[in-house]
Chain A
Amino acid sequence: MNDTVKDIIVKGTTAGKFLVHWGYIPLILFIGYRASNPKPMLSRIINPMA
């Protein structure tokens, strides 16, 4: 396996890690918000006391 392929794989996994780390929870919130009927109020997601 030559160096350019290794480089691409390492860069890809680092970018993937970054995306999953910061984007997974917003993705869950987005999918949950779209799939729920009736749509919950946005303040209920963020505020623990609401």
Chain B
Amino acid sequence: MEYASPPVADKGGQSQTAGSMTAPTIADLGLKPKFDLEEELHFKFWNPLHYYKALNQHRMRLDLPNPGQFEFLNKELKTTMLTNFMFDGGRADLAKLLSQNFQVMHTFQLGQPGQPSSFEFAGVYADEDTMMHGKMDTEFNFQGRLNHALTKKLQVKSQAQFSTTEDSQSMFQLESEYTGSDYTSNVKAINPSLVDGTGIYMANYLQSITSKLGIGAELLYQSPLPKVQETSISFAMRYQPSVDRAWVAQTQGTNMLSMSYWRKISEKCEAAAELQAINAPSYGRREASCSVGVKYEFAASTVRAMADSFGKVSMLLEEKIAPGFSFLISGELDHLKGENKFGVGLNLES
């Protein structure tokens, strides 16, 4: 009887089998993984560290995807809904791409009753591990952001906002985020003060439970005055059964609940619905609001429309007239209050 000769692992890592068609094992390729999945698991019940190692091996075998970031749990909702893109009055946005990493933006906004005309200058530098963004106003209000990736998995982000007119609007935020294989953890500090320990500190953690479901929790510690402290915990869940739909539910403390559903109906059309409920009897607020939004992306234009449960209907049209030049029209009708807003803008990239 002829037995196939066993594979011999070479220095070069190539297995030399004569006539056998077995797939190369991890040992043949000359790689030693961090957790050796090939070895037989002799469970050393007397070794406490082995419990952690066994749990980790099971987790690696499950091979779950990364759930994303806690802040951007409903990132598709933010791009589909109109709320971040809505503007009022006349607006011109000129972006100049000076090089691949560096760009400068000039934004002009025409005055409104109650708001003077403003000009804003912004500079952005984006590298493969750094992103720096700074914005300055005609009234010398400053907004700056800095994202730096220390390693492939650890990222440090900081954000600052200084205003010369109102001191209460100044803030500084520092956050560090670690992206694991199937989890993301994030620690954030807003206005930390070394002098008296005031500030807002948050830590959150998001873990993939199955390949479609991710669950997270956030712990918030607030100290607005030196002797006053408050903590609260919130939970979040994201269920994504396929690439084209996502369900997200989030609570904030014990007072607020928000749920959303996003669906990509076709390549050009996306729709989303969101429900937010606030129950804070001590602040005298018990209300809920629901909004439905849709986004159509055509070859030369993008249309976003949204309807609210407060009787607000709004729409934004962005028409790409020439490469680098696009024209925007936005309108918002508030039927309950009777206040309507319209905006006209243009975006120019050169």
A residues adjacent to B (C-beta < 8 A): 1, 6, 9-10, 17, 20-21, 24-25, 27-29, 31-33, 35-38, 40, 44-45, 48
Contact = CB atoms under 8 A, between A and B. Distances in A.
Contacts of B132: 24, 27-28, 31
A21 B141 CA distance: 8
B102 interface: yes
Q: Could you say which interface size class chain B belongs to?
A: 20 to 34
Contacts of A44: 96, 98, 104
B contacts with A: majority SS:
strand
A9 B102 CA distance: 34
A21 B135 CA distance: 10
B106 A36 contact: no
A contacts with B: majority SS:
helix
Contacts of B142: 20-21, 24-25
B166 to A, nearest CB: 14
Contacts of B134: 24-25, 27-28
Nearest to B123: A28
B99 interface: yes
A21 B165 CA distance: 13
Given A28-B132, A44-B96, A35 B101 contact: yes
B223 to A, nearest CB: 15
B99 A45 contact: no
